[in-house]
Amino acid sequence: MLCSINSTDIISLFVFPEIIKSYRVALAEAINGNLFFAGEATDVLGDWGTVNGALNSGERVALEVIEAIVNPVT
């Protein structure tokens, strides 16, 4: 995909990042409470594309796994 952000275009500056963020939220969603997704692409805190984003997502998923063990989906 070829993509460019025009710093004077209000849609590029404010709408595009929100759309991308909603994709990341969807990517990070667990399936059936027992299939989990980590990785920089799932970061919604602004660190996507970095090792920090990957590490943070790993911590998020670790907590999700603990939660799933404690409160399994029936």
Ligand X SMILES: Cc1cc2nc3c(=O)[nH]c(=O)nc-3n(C[C@H](O)[C@H](O)[C@H](O)COP(=O)(O)OP(=O)(O)OC[C@H]3O[C@@H](n4cnc5c(N)ncnc54)[C@H](O)[C@@H]3O)c2cc1C
Residue 37 in the binding site for ligand X (CB under 6 A): no
Nearer to ligand X, 12 or 47 (CB): 47
Residue 54 in the binding site for ligand X (CB under 6 A): yes
Nearer to ligand X, 1 or 11 (CB): 1
Containing 21, the helix (H) or strand (E) segment is helix 16-28
CA angle centred on 24, ends 60 and 3, rounded to 5°: 145
Nearer to ligand X, 12 or 52 (CB): 52
Residue 3 in the binding site for ligand X (CB under 6 A): no
CA distance 6 to 24: 22
Phi, psi of 50 (to 5 degrees): -130, 165
The residue ranges that bind ligand X (CB under 6 A) are 39-40, 49-52, 54
